[in-house]
Structure 1
Amino acid sequence: MGTRRLSREKALQALFYMDMHRDPVEDPVGHFCSCFSENQPTEPFFHRLVDGVRENRATIDAVIERFSSNWKISRMSCVDRNVLRIAVFELLFCTDIPPKVSINEAIDVGKRYGTEESGAFINGILDSIRMAITENKVDALPKTVEE
């Protein structure tokens, strides 16, 4: 398994932790990382994903809700919601990652950590977002988050 996949999985776990534990920890990412052994090759991409999702969460959540028919973000499973957040962050802000790679990675991670339906659910939403981006139907966002 590649370091980017491991980074995505670790980012999912950290975002899941922050979603489930809304305690007032001053540095939730640092707190999460202190509980697990550090894997140096995954750290830069892990932090890029987690920090990017946290900084752009309102925008990311709005895009997800726009393309998820009859699903409010708060009603989605915590795993699906955070897999989608990571993938939408990549689609909107990471020009160095091909959209199909982001989508395929999200589907695989969703299947591994979510339910039987997670892969299809994630694929449907992300493919709609990808098509809208391609057709310029999603507002242009600054693509400044590069590794």
Structure 2
Amino acid sequence: MSSDRPAPKKLGARHKARRRAVDLLFEAEARDLDPVDLAAERSELAIADDQVAPVHAYTIEIVRGVAENLDRVDETVASYLQEWTLDRLPAVDRAILRIAVWELFYAPDVPPVVVVDEAVELAKQLSTDDSPGFINGVLGQVVVVAPQVRAAAAAQLQPPSA
């Protein structure tokens, strides 16, 4: 007997890394801690205590990237919030959007469609019923400017030609 329900998504290592990054960014903001320091602390704890889940390298990369580019990421998110401010968003939505915008701008190995899909999936798992649609709408606008931002970032990394 077949069911009309879609099969549950298989969640890979990068999805789990993103989810852990959401947790770390959320906790760091709630406790007013540096997210990079918190991620490093959790990594060390995982090494010392086999009861603590290891922190995936991509989680560290995300947390560091978001922290290093927080002003640009937040300015971008804020520019697409109609009649809202970043501070009014649920903290988990802020963390999800920060990760997604960072990936759209600074992780060229991740296709934009994957970034948006992952962010929406995280919102479904972790936030309110309205959050997936809201996050999809914001990211749908950010995706349009992401190629220019990626190109500008890549150009800054290129050595000047002689």
Task: Classify the TM-score, shorter chain.
Answer: 0.7 to 0.9
- Counterpart of 2:98 in structure 1 is 85
Q: Tell whether 2:62 aligns with 1:49.
A: yes
Match of 2:52 among 16, 27, 37: 37
- Counterpart of 2:21 in structure 1 is 11
TM-score normalised by the chain length of structure 2: 0.77
AA of the residue aligned to 2:75: A
The alpha-carbon distance between structure 1 residues 26 and 67, as it changes in their structure 2 partners (threshold 3 A), is closer
- Counterpart of 1:22 in structure 2 is 32
User: Aligned partners of 1:128 and 1:66: how far apart in 2?
Assistant: 10
Task: State, as a whole percentage, how many aligned pairs show the same letter.
Answer: 29
Match of 1:142 among 153, 159, 162: 153
- Counterpart of 2:109 in structure 1 is 96
Quote the offset at 1:87 in angstroms.
0.2
Quote the offset at 1:24 in angstroms.
7.6
AA of the residue aligned to 2:77: I
User: Aligned partners of 1:45 and 1:5: how far apart in 2?
Assistant: 10
AA of the residue aligned to 1:53: V
Q: Tell whether 2:143 aligns with 1:133.
A: no
Is there any run of 5+ residues in structure 1 with no aligned partner, and where? none
Show the 5 A alignment for 1:111-126. Answer: 111-126=124-139
User: Aligned partners of 1:131 and 1:88: how far apart in 2?
Assistant: 12
Q: Is the 8 A contact 1:7 1:46 kept in 2?
A: yes
State the Cα RMSD in Å. 2.5
Number of residues paired by the alignment? 141
User: Aligned partners of 2:77 and 2:151: how far apart in 1?
Assistant: 15
The alpha-carbon distance between structure 1 residues 19 and 64, as it changes in their structure 2 partners (threshold 3 A), is same
1 or 2 for the larger relative contact order (CA 8 Å, sep ≥6)?
Answer: 1
Quote the offset at 1:67 in angstroms.
1.0
Is there any run of 5+ residues in structure 2 with no aligned partner, and where? 1-10, 158-162
